Amino acid sequence: MSAGQPEEDEITWGSEELPIENMNKSQDDGPIITEDELTSLPLVKVVPDGQYTGAKLNTVVRMMRGLLEQKVPLQEFENLQNLQPLDDCLIGQTKENKKKNRYKNIVPFDTTRVVLEKDGGYINANFIKMSVKEENYMYIACQGPLPTTLGDFWQMVWEQKSNVIAMMTQEVEGGKVKCQRYWPDTPRTAEMVDERLQITLIKDQYLDNFVIRLIEVKDVQTNEIQRVTHLNYTGWPDHGTPSEPEQLLTFISYMRHVHRSGPIITHCSAGIGRSGTLICIDVVLGLISKDADFDISDIVRNMRLQRQGMVQTEDQYIFCYQVILYVLRCLQAEENISG
């Protein structure tokens, strides 16, 4: 099974004091979060006198800059392309499941695939478990829903009790459908996505490079309700990478700020390129905050053993390095100001 470019398309790629969103607010009650609140979210909190402060921080910055200048990430990415999968992708290739794959050559590994509770149901999604020092960061990386898999997607959200979805694509890019819309267009409008689950858009807020949607998911048979924050990053150009990292880092900071339960569910179109890049950056930020060493190559290798092709392109891989170097330089600048 190849993790190359899908045939139909080329996939390109918190502050504890802040209030958590109130799902009961009406559309006219003001923004979900103000610009001041958003910009006050820290990129990363470092351990005082740790390895990401002072002279040690300067050493890490020089090392990262040197790796980029020497084009070491290019060689690392080439080596990763030769990584042999340790798992099969048989379940996703059965006759009844093939039609549920957006791209015929992007199929989930059997061992890490998300199994829907009803009849061991299939969805093109994998659990991604990443060690961040003593903590495990849990994600689900999945393809953008198809018109025929909307119910499966929301069933997964419900069963995993995930309260955050990070959508890294737009619905249509370059004139091609990348993801079927799976939420209501109009606030306070409810839609049934299968025989049990009702989805209601409570409120939305459009920012420069991403959209926040507060969504209520209800089991109409039991009246149980789960609340989900849907974050849609819109500043990632088709077939490229963002021109600057600041807005993406704000997106990630907010994602971490609102995450409360279940794996963070992330998807782009195929669920490997932009989704993998998001996870990689989030994991490195977590390691920095815990004063732990990080190795981007090892992180991507670990992801690729759980879902094929994660961080799909060379540009996306280099972008991971560039974003982390930007974060480290921001830490330097903060020290210079405070010092």
Q: Could you tell me which of 26, 330, 325, 35 has the C-alpha nearest to residue 204?
A: 26
Q: Could you tell me which of 171, 165, 169 has the C-alpha nearest to residue 147?
A: 171
Q: Are 201 and 186 in contact (CB under 8 A)?
A: yes
In a 3-state reduction of DSSP, which class is residue 60? helix
Q: What is the DSSP string of 63-115?
A: HHHHHHHTTHHHHHHHHHHTPPPSS---GGGSHHHHTT-SSTT----TTTEEE
- Catalytically active residues are 268
Distance between CA atoms of residues 212 and 225, nearest Å: 19
Q: Could you tell me which of 182, 143, 183 has the C-alpha nearest to residue 11?
A: 143
Going by C-beta distance under 8 Å and a sequence separation of 6 or more, which residues neighbour residue 253? 14, 41, 42, 43
Q: Are 53 and 335 in contact (CB under 8 A)?
A: yes
Q: What is the DSSP string of 242-279?
A: -S-SHHHHHHHHHHHHH--SSPEEEE-SSSSSHHHHHH
